Amino acid sequence: MIRTALRHHAPTELAEAVALLDSHAERAAVLGGGTMLVPRLTRGELDLDHVIDLRRLGLGTATVTDGRVRVGARATYANLLAAPAFPGTAQLLQRVAGGITGGPQIRCQGTVCGSAAYANPSTEVPAALVALDATMHLHGPGGARTAPAAAFFLDAYKVDLRRGELLTGVTVAARPARLGYCKLKLAEGSWPIATAAAVLPPAGAADHAPGYRGAVVTLGAISTRPIKLDLAPVLDDAGRLPGDADVDEWVAARIGEPWEDELAPGGYRRMVAGAVLRRALHRAHEENR
């Protein structure tokens, strides 16, 4: 039960939502699916007067147009899974949606944009969006603007959302590519300890074909922000990785301060990062032959 008086707003216009958010500033929060916000209010971790519910703004769809996937702020993981298969690299979003460990309840309630706005390092969405070079669509008192995902995620629980701004959606380009994803978790019902998304040029294309940067792997849940690694410096002429120990050392050196939480200490995350990266890369090769 939420024990404080709270005003629920469900605006039908984006401008109204932004005006509410702007005028109440620190006393208001956006409600996506509520999987994080509502329990935090129940536990008294947040002291708010207003909740701005996005459900009547028509932002609940995930659509594919001209090789791009646009995910609205209110699109849940279940909405993504109910949509036709996303083409190319965009299918990573459906893989993440299908693997959310909270089961149907969380998949029907939680949103991709809510996860992005919350930016919990131990979640998959931030790194998936960085791996896909997603564009974040933001709307605030000054109107609409966009930001690349890599610049949007600033730190643990910290994103580039300015006063009165909300995230209206994300867009990812659905490029043809070989994709491999790996999620390490303690148990079926556990959150990720480490994730890796490998994106390689399509089979047969040169490593540095236009629009590609060779093999790129984005690590998630390892640090406060996603870590995007271009593997070109470590691959041999045939595109192979060196020995496991060398890869582990190379990856570990690029982690900086690893993320710690109740699931795993930072040292463990640093230790497993190389293995998770290798597995994603292996899957990108094996699953896209």
Ligand X SMILES: Cc1cc2nc3c(=O)[nH]c(=O)nc-3n(C[C@H](O)[C@H](O)[C@H](O)COP(=O)(O)OP(=O)(O)OC[C@H]3O[C@@H](n4cnc5c(N)ncnc54)[C@H](O)[C@@H]3O)c2cc1C
Single-letter code of the amino acid located at 253: A
CA distance 59 to 70: 10
Instruction: Classify 118 as helix, strand or coil.
Output: helix
Dihedral sign computed on CA atoms, order 238, 239, 243, 249: positive
Instruction: Classify 38 as helix, strand or coil.
Output: helix
CA distance 173 to 70: 9
Site for ligand X in 95-154 (CB under 6 A): 100-102, 106, 109-111, 113-115, 117-118, 123-125
Give the residue with the Cβ less far from ligand X, 73 or 130: 73
Applying CB under 6 A, the span of 34-42, 199-207, 248-256, 278-286 interacting with ligand X comes to 34-42
Give the residue with the Cβ less far from ligand X, 69 or 166: 166
259 contacts ligand X (rule: CB under 6 A): no
In the set 166, 172, 179, 255, which binds ligand X (CB under 6 A)? Answer: 166
Applying CB under 6 A, the span of 3-11, 32-40, 60-68, 276-284 interacting with ligand X comes to 32-40
Give the residue with the Cβ less far from ligand X, 124 or 133: 124
CA distance 194 to 219: 7
Nearest Cα to Cα of residue 46 among 35, 37, 58, 57: 37
* Number of residue whose CB is nearest ligand X: 114
72 contacts ligand X (rule: CB under 6 A): no
| CA distances, 289 to each of 91, 179, 231 (Å) | 17, 11, 20
Contacts of 287 (CB under 8 A, 6+ apart): 178, 179, 180
Q: Tell the smallest beta-carbon distance from residue 57 to ligand X (Å).
A: 9
Are 163 and 270 in contact by the 8 Å Cβ rule? The answer is no
173 contacts ligand X (rule: CB under 6 A): no
Applying CB under 6 A, the span of 11-19, 35-43, 198-206, 241-249 interacting with ligand X comes to 35-43
218 contacts ligand X (rule: CB under 6 A): no
# binding residues, ligand X (CB under 6 A): 31
Q: Tell the smallest beta-carbon distance from residue 107 to ligand X (Å).
A: 9
In the set 10, 14, 19, 36, which binds ligand X (CB under 6 A)? Answer: 36
Q: Is 164 left (phi over 0), alpha (psi -120 to 50) or beta?
A: left
> How many residues does this entry show for the chain?
289
35 contacts ligand X (rule: CB under 6 A): yes
Calculate the dihedral angle through the C-alpha atoms of 125, 127, 132, 138, rounding to the nearest 10 degrees.
Answer: 60
In the set 191, 219, 229, 248, which binds ligand X (CB under 6 A)? Answer: 191
In the set 17, 18, 20, 32, which binds ligand X (CB under 6 A)? Answer: 32
CA distance 256 to 270: 9
Residues that bind ligand X (CB under 6 A): 29-37, 54, 73, 100-102, 106, 109-111, 113-115, 117-118, 123-125, 161, 166-167, 191-192
